[in-house]
Amino acid sequence: MEVRGPSGDTVRHAKGPQESGSTPVTKSQTEAKVKARMEELREEIRRHDQLYYNDGVSEISDADYDALFRELKSLEEANPELVTVDSPTQRVGAPLPEGGSFDKVKHVVPMLSIESLRTDEEARDFSAKVVRFLGLESDDELEWHVEPKFDGVSAALIYRKGELVQGVTRGDGVTGEDITANLRTVRDVPLKLHMKPAPETLEVRGEVLIARDRFDRFNEWRAERGQPILANARNATAGALRRSDPAEVQKYPLEFHPYSIVRCDGYELPNSHAEQMQLLAAWGFAAPALDETVQGIGGCLEYQQRMEEKRDTIPFEMDGVVAKLDDMALRTRLGTNSRTTKWQYAHKFKPVEATTVLRAIEVQVGVNGRLTPRAHVDPVQVLGVTVRHATLHNEDYVLGLGIAPGDRVFVKRAGDVIPQITGLAMEAEPSVPADWSDAIPESLKDADGGIREGAIVQYREPFAMPEHCPSCGETVVREGKYVRCPNVHGCRPQLIGRTVHMVGRSGFEIDSLGEKMIVQLYDAGFMESPADLFRLLERPDEELVALDRWGAKTVANLKKELDEKRRISLDRFLAALSIPEVGTSTARLLAKSFRTLDELREATPEQLLAIDKIGDEVAGRIRAWFEDERSASLIQSLLDSGVEIVEEESAVILGNAFEGAIVVFTGTLEKMSRFEAKKAVEAQGGRVGSSVSKATTHLVVGGKPGSKAKKAEELGVQVLLEPEFLKRLSGDDG
C-alpha cells in the first residue's frame, strides 16, 4: 500500500537506513517482541510526521519511510488483535456508499463569525468598546493573543477520553457535516491525545490548510498524471474535505492548525488562551509558530503591520490577522451576540490588486432575469489565484469606470475572494493590435464563429446594455439601476435557475439533483420548465442513463427521492415556486394566514396587506404572479404530476422519544414516506443519518432491509421495526 502522499509530504520519514531493509518479524517470535516492534514503528512514524508538519524537518528519504510503514502494516495484518486505533495505518477508512452524503451535525457550541475590520481606526474603536464594557482605564491593561488569519477551511475535532471520535465542518455555524473519516487522514491531526490524563470531552477548532510550496508540488504531481491543475489551495482544501473516499483525501497535503478549545470536560484548562495553545501542542497538535501575546491595541496594530509586510513570505495564504483577548474570564464577561463574539476581531489586509488587459464584456442573464456585465481579462495572478473573469456589478458601474476592450484595468479579489474590476489603469492604444481578433474568448462565439448576443469584444467598443435579452431576445425592462428580462417563463437561464431553486433546501430538497444535472436535462429536452421536474418519474430509465456520467444507481436514487419528496407542506411549496418577493420567511407567513393553496390564490390585496411584514409592493407582486396564466399552469402541472400539499402536522407525530438521537432508516416504510419519517424524527429533536456508524442510536427497519441491518447488529445499535418506530413517535413505547 502506498502511503506517502503524491507531493512527497503527506506523510513523513522515519529513522534511517537500518530500517529500510528490515525483515518483518516472523510469527515464531514472541508476542511481546512483536508488540514492542509495532509500537516502536508507530512512535517513529508519529515522531517524523510531527517533525515535518510542526517543525518543517525531514530526516530520511521517502523510500526509508515507506519501508517502515510497510513493515508496520505487514505486522498488523498478521496480528490484527494488536492494531491500535491511533496507528498511522488506521487513518484511512471506508469510502461513503455510492450516492451517499455526509451526516448533518448540530454544533454544541455554535461556530460564530468574527467581526471583520479594515482600518486601524476600526480596530481602536473595537478595543475602546471592550475597555468601556470592562470598566478599565486604558487598553494597555488588556493582553491580546494575535495570530494569522489563514485562508483555509474551518473544522471542529471532538475527542472522547483522548480519542478522536468526530470531525465536523463549520457549515452555517449552527449545523455542519460529519467528515470524520476525511479529517482522520490529515497527518498532523492526532488520532489519540499524546499527554495523559485526557479530558472526558475535548473540542478543538482550527483551520485545514495546504502550504504554498506543497500545493505547487501537488499540482506538479497531478499534471504528471494528466489530472486537472487545481486553481488555489483553499478551493483544493474545501474540495478534498468533501470527497467521498478518504483514500483520495489522503493524497492531498492537508494540515490542521488549531486556533481554539471550545469545550473541555474533565480537565481544568488554564485561563490564558496562549497557555491553552501550548497545551494543545503537548497533546499532539501543531504548535503555534506565528502567534504572539501583545499588550494593548497598539501591540495588535504593530503585529498586523508586520504580518502584512511579510505576507508573501509566510508559507500559507492569509488575508489578515485575528486578535482575541488572552484572558478567558474576560471573554466570558464580554460574551457574544447573535452572530459574532465580542472579544475578538479580524483585521483584514489591504486587498492586493493586479493589472491586466480587458478582452471583452459579456452581459449574462441571472436566475431572476437581471442582466449583469462580466469582464473577460487576460489571465493574471491575484493572491495566488489565476483570474480570467471578474464582476462588473451593473450598467452604472461599468459606465462609471469608463472602460472598454483593450484597456488595461485594475483587478482585485473583493474580500480576497471574488475578482472584480476596480478601475482603469491605462487606456488602450489608438491602433488595433494585429492579433486582437484571434484573442477573442471562444466562449463568446456562436456555432458559426460569430459573436454571441450581449458580448462586447471589438477593440475600444463602448459599453451599452442590450435592449433585448441575450438569451431569449425579449425586450428588457429597466428597474432603477438594474435591467431585467421579463420573460420569466421562457428565458432559459431563468428556467434553469428556478428549477435549481425548486429542488433546493428551501423547496422540495432534492439532494440528488444538482445544477449541472439540471442543465443536462434541459439540453436533452427532458425538461422545458420547472413544471417538468416530477414528470422525470415517467421517463424511461434508459433515456436518463444515457446522459453523460449518469448511471443506473444515479437514476434510481433520483427517482426514489422525487417520489418521496412529492408530499410537501404549503410553506415549502410556495417557497419552491420562485414567486417574486416570497422567500422562506414570507412563505411561512402566507401558509399561516391561509389554510390552503386555493385560499391563497383567491386572496385579495387587502387580505395580503393584513399580514404583518407584507406591504403594498410585495402584495402586488404576489397577486400579479397568481393571476398570470403561466403561474397557474405551473402549479397545475406540479399537482398533476403527483405533488401533494399536506398540512405540516400530518407529517409529524408529536412526542420527544428521539431527542438527541441519531436515526438511520433502511428498507421501505409502509405507513409513511422516508421523507415524512425524517421530518418526524427531526421535529422531536433527533437527527437522521445516511449510514450506520458508532454514533447511530437507532436503526429503523422497513420491508426489504439492506446491509445496514447487519452492520447495526455488529455495532450493537438498537433496531426498531416500523410498528415500534411509530409507537415511539407517538409517545406510546410501552
Domain boundaries, the chain: 17-90, 113-348, 353-484, 492-646, 652-729
Q: Are strands 482-484 and 201-209 parallel, antiparallel or unpaired?
A: unpaired
On the question of pLDDT at 587 being above 70, the answer is yes
- The 3-state DSSP class for residue 166 equals strand
**pLDDT band at 358, cuts 50/70/90?**
very high
Nearest to 322 by CA among 154, 173, 133: 154
599 HSE (CA, 13 A, CB side): 10
Highest mean pLDDT, choosing among 37-46, 95-104, 242-251: 242-251
Query: For the segment 173-231, what is each residue's pLDDT rounded down to a tens digit?
Result: 889 999 999 999 998 999 999 888 899 999 999 999 999 889 989 988 887 887 777 76
Q: What is the pLDDT of residue 416?
A: 54
201-209: strand order across its sheet = 163-169, 153-160, 201-209, 255-265
On the question of pLDDT at 546 being above 50, the answer is yes
On the question of pLDDT at 89 being above 90, the answer is no
Looking at the structure, give the CATH architecture of the domain made up of residues 652-729.
Answer: 3-Layer(aba) Sandwich (3.40)
The CATH number of domain 492-646, selected from 1.10.150.130, 3.40.50.1000, 3.40.50.970, 1.10.150.20? 1.10.150.20
156 or 244: whose pLDDT is higher?
A: 156
Helical residues (DSSP H) of 79-198, grouped into ranges: 120-134, 180-183
Q: Give every CB contact of residue 559 below 8 A, 6+ residues apart in sequence.
A: 536, 537, 541
Query: For the segment 617-632, what is each residue's pLDDT rounded down to a tens digit?
Result: 899 999 999 999 999 9
| Average pLDDT across the chain, whole number | 86
- The 3-state DSSP class for residue 146 equals strand
The annotated binding site is made up of: 62-66, 113-114, 147, 170, 207, 324, 348, 469, 472, 485, 491
For 648, counting Cβ atoms within 10 Å of its Cβ (0-12 exposed, 13-18 middle, 19+ buried), the class is middle
Distances (CA, A) of 321 to 49, 60, 114, 338, 577: 27, 35, 11, 23, 43
Angle at 612 between CA 606 and CA 615, to 5 degrees: 55
Q: Dihedral of the CA atoms 134, 140, 141, 146 (nearest 10)?
A: 90
Q: Looking at residues 570-586, what average pLDDT do you find? A: 90
The annotated binding site for Zn(2+) is made up of: 469, 472, 485, 491
Catalytic residue among 149, 251, 412, 565: 149
* CATH 3.40.50.2020 for domain 353-484: no
Decide if 149 is catalytic.
Answer: yes
The CATH number of domain 17-90, selected from 1.10.760.10, 1.10.287.610, 3.40.50.300, 3.40.640.10? 1.10.287.610
- Distinct helix (H) and strand (E) counts, the chain: 25, 25
Query: What Rg value do the Cα atoms of the chain yield, rounded?
Result: 29
The annotated binding site for NAD(+) is made up of: 62-66, 113-114, 147, 170, 207, 324, 348
- Least confident range of 100-104, 444-448, 590-594, 702-706: 702-706
Q: Dihedral of the CA atoms 15, 191, 247, 510 (nearest 10)?
A: -160
Buried b (16+ CB within 10 A) or exposed e, 157-182: bbbeebebebbbbbbeeebbbbbbbb
Distances (CA, A) of 385 to 74, 235, 466: 43, 10, 31
516 or 14: whose pLDDT is higher?
A: 516
Query: For the segment 421-439, what is each residue's pLDDT rounded down to a tens digit?
Result: 989 999 999 999 999 999 9
> Running DSSP on this structure, what letter comes out for residue 155?
E
pTM of the model: 0.52
Q: Looking at residues 396-414, what average pLDDT do you find? A: 91
On the question of pLDDT at 2 being above 50, the answer is no
Query: For the segment 179-190, what is each residue's pLDDT rounded down to a tens digit?
Result: 999 999 998 999
Look up cell 491575484; give the residue: 382
What is the assigned CATH class of domain 113-348? alpha beta
**pLDDT band at 357, cuts 50/70/90?**
very high
Helical residues (DSSP H) of 379-427, grouped into ranges: 395-401
Instruction: Tell me the percentage of the chain whose pLDDT exceeds 90.
Output: 52
Q: What is the pLDDT of residue 332?
A: 94
Query: For the segment 472-531, what is each residue's pLDDT rounded down to a tens digit?
Result: 999 999 988 889 999 988 999 999 999 999 998 789 999 899 999 999 999 999 999 999
Q: Looking at residues 75-88, what average pLDDT do you find? A: 82
The Cβ of residue 686 has, within 10 Å, a number of other Cβ atoms equal to 20
On the question of pLDDT at 732 being above 80, the answer is no
Q: What is the pLDDT of residue 18?
A: 40
